[in-house]
Amino acid sequence: MACGGKGETSETSSGEQPELSENNPTVLPSKPVPVFDADSAMDILKAQVEFGPRVPNTSAHKACAEYLIRELKKWTSGVIVQDANVVAYTGEGLKIRNIMGQIHPNRTDRIMLFAHWDSRPFADRGNPGKGKPVLGADDGASGVAVLLEIARAIARDSSGGPAPGIDIVLFDAEDFGDAGGAPETYCLGSQYWAKNRPLPISSRYGILLDMVGAKDAVFYQEGASVTFAPHVVQKVWSAAHKLGYGNYFKMAQLNGPITDDHYFINTLANIPSIDIINYDPTRPMGFPGHWHTENDNLENIDPATLKAVGQTILQVLYEEPVLGRELEP
């Protein structure tokens, strides 16, 4: 029989709702993306640098943690601090603090944004700076500044912000590692966090910001990011290009992974994560010239770079569809 009987169609008509998923999201009218305020981000960057190097076990480190907790409390709905003791490769015991602020903590679909807030205890190069603590205007403070400014922009947005819940996690002791030594000597805060999760939250994906403040910064598609979270690389780089930031976000992949917090978040916490990091394979060291030197100071920071990264991340967050059945408060 060529034709079906009356009432038969090829479509299901049971009235069942299809399962919502990333391929089948609830489509809501998109909200305007807030403007990322680079001047405000600069103020947050400077406030960190003014404490001095944020090296674990120092008073500057302690005071900066209090500042970050205070700021995150203003712009998020809940702050969770994970205090821990870890042992550095030098044998020194470090008192560390991983600091997390949650936006819409009850939503099940979540995205994690992270950066490290400590700065390196000893410069690797430079005369006379070698061996001295690094100020970390770029290497540390820049990523934190962009994340706090994103939190502030969302808090001020009367539309309620992006659909997913957001977890902003500031990791400690990323940079207390052995130059030329084992990768595991770095990223002590994120490794501890991944092995001792303070909350049973799951994240759909993660984005790490590391060294996102320098003049002439360039962000290639980093190796571990492409391996573990190619769809997130694609999403972020295409948002950046759409906004006109293609001069920062290069459409080319780096060979091999960079050891950074996202590596451990991928491998130990199983959250597909990318790293936006200033590394150019055509430079002598890949990293910028001020990297791990006494010159990692405000002179090398350009608010235009903070803007390119912050506006791109806001765009990505606001483009995310609703994946849950409804928006929890």
Q: Which residues bind ligand AHN (CB under 6 A)?
A: 139, 175, 177, 183, 186, 210, 258-260
Nearer Cβ to ligand AHN (300/315):
300
CB of 221 to Zn ion, least distance (A): 20
Minimum gap (Å) between residue 119 Cβ and Zn ion: 8
Q: Which of 175, 260, 261, 275 binds Zn ion (CB under 5 A)?
A: 175
**Cα distance between residue 154 and residue 160, in whole Å:** 7
In 10 A of CB 323, how many CB atoms? Answer: 18
Binding of Zn ion at residue 172 (CB under 5 A)? no
Min CB(240)–ligand AHN separation in Å: 20
- CA quadruple 248, 250, 251, 255: dihedral positive or negative? negative
Rounded CA separation 194/142 (Å): 23
- Beta strands 93-103 and 78-87 are antiparallel
259 binds, among Zn ion, ligand AHN, none (CB under 5 to 8 A by kind): ligand AHN
Class of residue 174 by CB neighbours under 10 A (exposed 0-12, middle 13-18, buried 19+): buried
User: Looking at 65-73, 89-97, 134-142, 190-198, which segment touches Zn ion (CB under 5 A)?
Assistant: 134-142
Q: Does 275 bind Zn ion (CB under 5 A)?
A: no
Q: Where are the alpha helices (DSSP H) in the chain?
A: 38-50, 59-75, 143-155, 188-195, 223-228, 230-242, 261-267, 303-319
Report what 258 binds from ligand AHN, Zn ion, none; CB cut-off 5-8 Å by kind.
Answer: ligand AHN
Shortest Cβ contact with ligand AHN: which residue?
Answer: 259
Contacting range for Zn ion; rule: CB under 5 A; set: 59-67, 141-149, 170-178, 190-198? 170-178
What residues form DSSP beta bridges with 110?
Answer: 165
The one of ligand AHN, Zn ion, none whose footprint includes residue 164, by CB under 5 to 8 A per kind, is none
Work out whether 139 is an interface residue with Zn ion (CB under 5 A). yes
Using CA atoms, how far apart are residues 234 and 229, in angstroms rounded to an integer?
9
Q: Could you tell which of ligand AHN, Zn ion, none binds residue 210, using a CB distance below 5 to 8 A set by kind?
A: ligand AHN
249 neighbors 313 (Cβ within 8 angstroms): no
Binding site for Zn ion (CB under 5 A): 139, 175
